[in-house]
């Protein structure tokens, strides 16, 4: 066999496998009794943690939720985590400073959840409390999970795999799609120069000595203040690679000038010189492949409805060949259908609630025309398949 050059897909796969197999968990056997200043109530429920002294390729992850007086969102977040396809050990730490404590009986029993009802404090203080608890449990990775956002079922697996393969000290997912609950609209987001806390994932060893600030807005900014370039430490992930819904409610604190949102109108952009919005089509592909959890969440309804509407309008434009858009139908279909291989970033195959869909690509019928890679090159065939795909929404 010939030598594999740098950047070759097979070499990338081998490097990822080698990086993963180097991981070894610390042996942890600590008492579960919790002592914390201001702690009013704590509860532990769920499955027994696996033996972390045994060798495994996936690090132990502590998923952390801070919440206040949002019971429905908290339960929704826990349900999402219960649907994650992460193959390694994980725990969930909840820091709640609501007036009343939640009933642990309503939490998903398949999760290892440690719930803490604490005195009223800032978001930064709650995050620091959760990190301290993860230190006690011996977690190697810390993953922040905001209670109102909606992530795909493969978020943890995708984010951790990239950090392990690089290797990187931390990771953040681009805020690309915003579901506004108050107005019921889906927005695009131009992106952010620094990461938002809602999708942070850290190596615990790197986070030690870098506490969150005592504030409830931008509490994570202080972590990166001493870094000239946070990308040197981090593994950024685009919204196209790992789409999620950043949910805006009446209590959301992120200002519009930070998000720079604009409405979703079409996946054909560029006016007189149209092109395909592959990032927005990646979000549509995630819904089509059941990559998002099945939950009665308003944000999911908003996004699904908006995507269905713009896809229908785009199909009509292509059928009428407005601004020569019909020629974009094959590219449009490929972006909507084909699973992307993000091997260069340590990515792993896209997940799905439906295992039959996680690696599935619609194969053209025998009389359809495709190139050697299976990409559709006939516009009428592509438009027919796009119309068929609309039924998936």
Q: Is the predicted pLDDT of residue 360 greater than 80, yes or no?
A: no
- CB neighbour class for 232 (10 Å; exposed up to 12, middle 13-18, buried from 19): exposed
What pLDDT does residue 250 have? 83
At residue 64 the predicted structure's pLDDT band, cuts being 50, 70 and 90, is very high
Q: What is the pTM of this model?
A: 0.81
At residue 356 the predicted structure's pLDDT band, cuts being 50, 70 and 90, is low
At residue 160 the predicted structure's pLDDT band, cuts being 50, 70 and 90, is very high
What pLDDT does residue 329 have? 94
What pLDDT does residue 220 have? 84
What pLDDT does residue 346 have? 62
Q: Let me know: does 191 contact 98? Beta carbons within 8 Å.
A: no
Mean pLDDT score of the chain, rounded to an integer?
Answer: 80
CATH domain 9-261 topology? Spore Coat Polysaccharide Biosynthesis Protein SpsA; Chain A (3.90.550)
* Distance from C-alpha of 266 to C-alpha of 245, rounded to nearest angstrom: 18
Residue whose tokens read 């053209």: 364
Alpha carbon distances (Å) from 318 to 170, 311, 332: 42, 10, 10
Alpha carbon distances (Å) from 280 to 238, 284, 347: 12, 6, 19
Tell me the pLDDT tens digit for each residue of 83-129. 999 999 999 999 999 999 998 888 999 999 999 999 999 999 999 99
Q: What angle do CA 68, 145, 280 make, to 5 degrees?
A: 120
Q: Which of 159-168, 218-227, 258-267 has the lowest mean pLDDT?
A: 218-227
The dihedrals phi and psi of 205, each to the nearest 5 degrees, come to -60, -35
Mean pLDDT calculated for residue range 332-350: 71
| Plot region of 300 (φ>0 → left; ψ -120 to 50 → alpha; else → beta) | alpha
- CB neighbour class for 304 (10 Å; exposed up to 12, middle 13-18, buried from 19): middle
Q: Is the predicted pLDDT of residue 189 greater than 50, yes or no?
A: yes
At residue 179 the predicted structure's pLDDT band, cuts being 50, 70 and 90, is very high
Cis bond before residue 171 (omega within 30° of 0): no
What pLDDT does residue 132 have? 96
What pLDDT does residue 99 have? 96
Which residue did the predictor score with more confidence, 133 or 360? 133
Domain regions of the chain by residue span: 9-261, 265-392
Q: Let me know: does 34 contact 116? Beta carbons within 8 Å.
A: yes
Q: Let me know: does 42 contact 115? Beta carbons within 8 Å.
A: yes
Residue whose tokens read 């395909």: 276
Q: Is the predicted pLDDT of residue 21 greater than 80, yes or no?
A: no
Q: Which of 52-56, 125-129, 262-266 has the lowest mean pLDDT?
A: 52-56
What pLDDT does residue 29 have? 32
At residue 272 the predicted structure's pLDDT band, cuts being 50, 70 and 90, is confident
Which residue did the predictor score with more confidence, 6 or 282? 282
What pLDDT does residue 104 have? 83
Q: Let me know: does 162 contact 346? Beta carbons within 8 Å.
A: yes
What pLDDT does residue 208 have? 87
């Amino acid at each position: 066999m010939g030598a594999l050059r740098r950047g070759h897909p097979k070499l990338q796969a081998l490097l990822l496998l080698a990086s993963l197999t180097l991981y070894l968990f610390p042996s942890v056997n600590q008492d579960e009794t919790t002592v914390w200043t201001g702690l009013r109530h704590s509860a532990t429920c769920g499955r027994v943690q696996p033996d972390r002294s045994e060798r495994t390729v996936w690090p132990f992850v502590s998923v952390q939720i801070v919440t206040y007086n949002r019971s429905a969102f908290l339960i929704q977040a826990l349900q999402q985590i219960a649907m994650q396809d992460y193959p390694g050990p994980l725990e969930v730490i909840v820091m709640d400073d609501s007036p009343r404590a939640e009933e642990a009986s309503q939490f998903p029993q398949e999760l290892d959840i440690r719930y803490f009802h604490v005195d009223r404090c800032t978001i930064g203080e709650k995050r620091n409390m959760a990190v301290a608890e993860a230190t006690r449990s011996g977690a190697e990775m810390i993953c922040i999970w905001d209670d109102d956002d909606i992530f795909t079922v493969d978020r943890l697996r995708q984010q951790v795999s990239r950090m392990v393969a690089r290797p990187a000290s931390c990771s953040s997912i681009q805020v690309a799609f915003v579901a506004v609950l108050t107005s019921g609209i889906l927005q695009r987001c131009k992106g952010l120069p620094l990461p938002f806390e809602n999708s942070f994932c850290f190596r615990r060893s790197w986070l030690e000595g870098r506490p969150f600030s005592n504030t409830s807005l931008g509490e994570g900014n202080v972590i990166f203040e001493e870094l000239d370039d946070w990308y040197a430490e981090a593994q950024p992930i685009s919204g196209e690679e790992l789409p999620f819904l950043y949910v805006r409610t009446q209590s959301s604190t992120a200002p519009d000038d930070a998000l720079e949102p604009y409405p979703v109108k079409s996946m054909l952009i560029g006016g007189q010189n149209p092109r395909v919005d592959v990032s927005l089509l990646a979000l549509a592909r995630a819904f089509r492949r059941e990559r998002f959890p099945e939950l009665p969440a308003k944000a999911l309804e908003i996004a699904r409805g908006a995507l269905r509407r713009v896809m229908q309008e785009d199909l009509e434009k292509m059928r009428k060949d407005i601004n020569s858009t019909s020629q974009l139908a094959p590219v449009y279909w490929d972006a909507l259908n084909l699973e992307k291989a993000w091997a260069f970033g340590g990515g792993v195959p896209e997940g799905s609630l439906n295992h039959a869909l996680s690696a599935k690509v619609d194969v053209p019928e025998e009389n359809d025309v495709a190139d050697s890679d299976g990409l559709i090159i006939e516009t009428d065939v592509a438009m027919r398949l796009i119309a068929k795909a609309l039924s998936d929404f």
